[in-house]
C-alpha cells in the first residue's frame, strides 16, 4: 500500500480524521447535554467550531487525494488548510501542529517519490526501446 506513496501524508490524514471525530463528539455532547442558558452558550461554541470542522474535512480530503495520486499541489493545499485550522481556532492550535508538520514532510516526500518514479519510468522506456519495442525504424515499414 505504501509503495511509491508518502507515509507522512497517510498518517496526517489519519490524525485529521481522529481529530475531527474528537471535535464532533466533544461539541455534540456539549450541545446535547446542556439545558437552559448553558444550551445557548454551547450552541454558540458549536457555531464557532463549524468553520474549523469544515476546514478540517477539506484538509483531510486534499490530504487523501495527495496520498493516492502523489500530487504535490494537493499536499501543499492540505498543509495550508491545516494551518488555516490552527489560525481559525487558536485554543486547539497545538492539536493541529502534528498534522501541519506531517503534511509539509509529505510534500517533500512526494517530490522525491515523483522524481524517483520518473527516473524509473524513463529507464524502463529506454530498456524497452533497446530491446526491440516501440519506435524502431523497422516498425515504420
**DSSP assignment of 27-79, as one string?**
HHHHHHT--THHHHHHHHHHHHHHHHHHHHHHHHHHHHHHHHHT-HHHHHHHH
Q: Which of 18-22, 44-48, 128-132 has the lowest mean pLDDT?
A: 128-132
> Looking at beta carbons, which pairs linking 89-95 to residues 24 or more positions away fall under 8 Å?
89/48, 89/49, 89/51, 89/52, 92/52, 95/19
User: Which cell numbers in the block locate residue 21?
Assistant: 471525530
pTM given for the model: 0.78
Q: What is the mean pLDDT of residues 14-27?
A: 90
∠ at Cα 108 (102, 15), nearest 5°? 15
Mean pLDDT estimate for the chain: 83
Question: What is the mean pLDDT of the segment spanning 63-71?
Answer: 93
Give residues with Cβ within 8 angstroms of 15, minimum separation 6: 98, 99, 102
Mean pLDDT along residues 1-13 = 88
pLDDT tops 70 at residue 30: no
pLDDT > 90? residue 40: no
pLDDT-derived band at 34 (thresholds 50, 70, 90) equals low
Residue 12 three-state SS: helix
Helix, coil or strand: residue 141: coil
pLDDT (tens digit per residue) in 43-52 = 777 788 889 9
Amino acid at each position: 500500500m505504501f509503495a511509491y506513496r508518502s507515509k507522512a501524508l497517510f498518517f496526517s490524514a489519519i490524525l485529521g480524521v481522529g481529530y475531527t471525530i474528537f471535535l464532533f463528539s466533544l461539541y455534540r455532547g456539549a450541545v446535547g447535554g446542556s439545558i437552559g442558558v448553558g444550551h445557548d452558550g454551547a450552541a454558540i461554541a458549536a457555531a464557532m467550531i463549524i468553520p474549523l470542522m469544515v476546514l478540517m474535512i477539506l484538509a483531510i480530503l486534499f490530504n487523501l487525494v495527495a496520498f493516492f495520486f502523489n500530487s504535490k499541489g494537493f499536499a501543499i493545499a492540505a498543509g495550508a488548510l491545516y494551518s488555516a485550522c490552527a489560525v481559525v481556532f487558536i485554543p486547539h492550535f497545538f492539536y493541529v501542529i502534528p498534522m501541519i508538520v506531517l503534511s509539509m514532510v509529505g510534500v517533500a516526500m512526494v517530490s522525491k517519490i515523483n522524481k524517483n518514479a520518473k527516473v524509473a519510468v524513463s529507464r524502463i522506456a529506454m530498456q524497452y526501446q533497446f530491446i526491440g519495442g516501440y519506435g524502431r525504424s523497422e516498425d515504420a515499414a
